[in-house]
A and B are shown apart, each in its own frame.
Chain A
Amino acid sequence: MQNNLLRKIIFDEKIRSIVIQTLVIGFFALLVYSISQTTAYNLEKRGIGTGFEFLGMSAGYDISFSMIEFTSKDTHLRAYYVGVINTLLVSVCGIFLATILGFLVGIIRLSSNWLFRNIAYVYVEFTRNVPVLLQIILWYSILIHLPKIKQAVQFFEYFYLSNRGLYSPAPIFKEGFSIVTWSFVLAVIFSFFLRRFLKNKQNQTGMQFPIFSIISAIIIFTPVVFFYIMGMPLEFEHPVLKGFNFVGGMVIRPEFAGMLLGLSIYTAAFISETVRSGIISVSKGQREASQALGLKSNLVMRLVVLPQALRVIIPPLTSQYLNLTKNSSLGIAIGYSDLVHGFGGISLNQTGKAIEIMLIVMVTYLIMSLTISSLMNLYNRKVQFKGNA
């Protein structure tokens, strides 16, 4: 009986693999358990306090670059929020810029214009072969060697460029501006349905409409009209040099600009290669067939080539978005107040809770990355072939 069982474990492929997998998982669980036990034991033995109470303690330091109100009296938890928002800010802006630049460069690399094609080639080969950290530091050092604050360069009357950032007028929304905002939102929703309606009509009757122009006009002019109806409820606060710094207005800091430039220019090089490979993957016959049908070259690109190329482009593009998001943690090199720099750096040092804070930071990046990839997977599913084609 026992012999039989042993025989089964060794010779039955199915049972054998189950046993091996169970053993591997069990050993891994044991490993995780013993590591955490040892850590807890060592920490206790050395009299190091553990726990997450510190999140409610006042942070004691200031973060100047913050989208939400933050003072030194706020808690470490709020410092965490500031960090998450700053990380998301630079990641989202970076992804946006990198996508536009990447698609542009990818298409230019396939252009028949020798000069453009080769400029794009040099750009791609240079940026993707130099570590991104160096590029970020390069951009930052260029930015902080712009004119000093007292010699700030003035342009368009109210804009000032200095090594402390680009100062611009800040809009002040007065009473009634919310109506303008709402009219914009409604215009967007209306255009969405209008587009669907016109598309359906085109599918049924074959009649073509200048959809893009119509929608643009609606989205732009509706808020403008409401803006005048409401009596122009918008003013600008201009930056004025007072004492050490400009007072008033808005500012784009060199730390943020350096991160954004470094990340998006680096990632765009990879995206352009992805785009190029996607476009090349669409067979020549598709292009020739659509030209034979009499489609103009921009329509060939938009209606035939790109939709098919996207199927190839999306999966590697997702990886590039993830890379960009994770690379944003390099902000620490130039003092950009992202998650790793503020919460994962300063808070860590003030409280000494290295394990807890690193755990929180890692889980946060994990969640961000998983969110990005699941969104991209959703989009990927949308552009893939439907049915068993």
Chain B
Amino acid sequence: MCYDPRSIIIGGYKMRQIKSLLMALTLVLFTSTSFAATLDDVKARGMLKCGSNTGLAGFGLPDDNGVWQGVDVDVCRAVAAAVFGDAMAVEFVPTTSKVRFTVLQSGEIDMLARNTTWTLQRDVELGLEFVGVSYYDGQGFMVPSSLGVSSATELDGASVCIQVGTTTEMNLADYFSANGMSYEAVPVETNSEADAAYTAGRCDVYTTDASGLYASRAGYPDPSAHVVLPEIVSKEPLGPAVRHGDGAWADIVRWSLNAMIIAEEKGITSGNVDEMKSSKDPEVLRLLGVSQVGDTGAGYGQWLGLSDDWAYQIIKQVGNYSESFEKHIGVNTPINIARGLNALYSDGGILYAPPFR
């Protein structure tokens, strides 16, 4: 008699059936997230989940009413405006610098917009995809003016507060050893702990991205008693990131950011966006969804899987890049950062978006 293991019958089920049943059970139990298109997930949920900073003034911080405000936050709002036509359809998930990548990798959030530096390792080995640069930053040093220090090269022997889990520790180590200086590292976990240690005098110097220094300084009792030293010791291109492998979703986030930059180039603001619909500039008409792709009868939103007025909604509800910058961190805010590198390429900066066509 021929022996076939598949013909063994247990309780009415064939072995093979049981096997596939078990496998299905395992899949149901232990597969955390599906790899379906992120856009579909976001649409089904009716809400964009965006990883933000735990609290950095001007970049991502809830205001008195609990509404998140900041330039990083605006990138998330832009994506929500593009997908839903509603910039407020965002749930912000505060992430520390330590958990931010894990949270994104695991699918708990759809995108990360939280002063995160774009590096090779993060982009490639961590399975992330940086879609652009929303803020060109660099690491700087802040010291109390009373120390009388005017250059970072005078910091030999100082105690330095560093926020851990960032690229700053490595830049710091490199900068001091390159200049033959020694220092005492005082590693702290969050921005607010760094502020506490620095203002108590536990350390002489606080180092992080210059934008973070300005944001911290604005919160001190006497901001004028602290100076940010002129040396910028690193390139820190900060930008939004998504999971690697979903190119369509990466495109949506990338072009939401680009739309804000192009809007500034073309002089479209949240105030004049409706008038600009009758502009004579063909790129403006393409951006705002007025003109169609050839004679398909549909606008440029179709390529992204969005409605044709997606960019219009971004500009109407969030504003262009300049509006967001000036509202949250510009020279007229307590944070007081000049546009500098973040000015448009035509204004002496390096902010540059690919053409919208």
Contacts and interface: CB of A to CB of B under 8 A. Distances in A.
B244 A46 contact: yes
B200 A144 contact: yes
Nearest to A251: B184
Given A144-B197, A341-B187, A349-B164, A254 B202 contact: yes
A180 B126 CA distance: 55
A64 B184 contact: yes
Contact of A163 (B101, B164, B173, B202): B202
B204 interface: yes
A62 B98 contact: no
- Among B102, B187, B197, chain A packs the most CB atoms within 10 A around the CB of B187
Interface stretch (B152-160, B210-218, B287-295): B152-160
Contacts of A244: 147, 155, 157-159, 204
Nearest to A44: B127
Given A244-B159, A337-B187, A345 B164 contact: yes
A282 B156 CA distance: 62
A242 B30 contact: no
A356 to B, nearest CB: 13
Contacts of A46: 105, 127, 243-245
Contacts of A345: 98, 164-165, 189
Interface residues of B, number: 48
Contacts of B193: 335
B52 to A, nearest CB: 18
Interface residues of A, number: 44
Nearest to B25: A34
Contacts, number: 123
A38 B158 contact: no
A286 B200 CA distance: 56
A147 B244 CA distance: 51
A224 interface: no
B154 to A, nearest CB: 9
Interface string B17-46: 000000000100111100100000000000
A61 to B, nearest CB: 4
B278 to A, nearest CB: 46
Given A47-B245, A60-B170, A332 B157 contact: no
Contact of A48 (B127, B155, B172, B204): B127
Nearest to A63: B185
Given A60-B173, A72-B170, A335-B193, A352 B185 contact: no
Nearest to B168: A61
A49 B98 CA distance: 18
Contacts of A62: 169, 172-173, 183, 185
Contacts of A38: 26, 30-32
Contacts of A341: 164, 187
Nearest to A162: B201
Contact of A349 (B35, B97, B127, B188): B97
A145 interface: yes
Given A348-B98, A349-B165, A47 B32 contact: no
A109 interface: no
A333 interface: yes
Contacts of A349: 97-98, 164-166
Contacts of A335: 164, 186-189, 193, 197
Interface string A28-48: 001000110010001001111
B122 interface: yes
Interface string A308-335: 0000000000000000000000001101
Contacts of A254: 202
A149 B189 CA distance: 23
A22 interface: no
A144 B183 CA distance: 19
A332 B164 CA distance: 10
A202 interface: no
B35 A45 contact: yes
Contacts of B26: 30, 34, 38
B231 interface: no
A348 B157 CA distance: 28
12 contacts: A35-B30, A46-B245, A60-B170, A61-B173, A62-B169, A144-B200, A163-B200, A164-B159, A243-B156, A244-B204, A350-B169, A352-B122
Interface of B: 26, 29-32, 35, 97-98, 101-102, 105, 121-122, 125-127, 147, 155-159, 164-166, 169-170, 172-174, 177, 183-189, 193, 196-197, 200-202, 204, 243-245
Given A34-B29, A243-B156, 4 more contacts: A48-B127, A244-B147, A244-B159, A335-B186
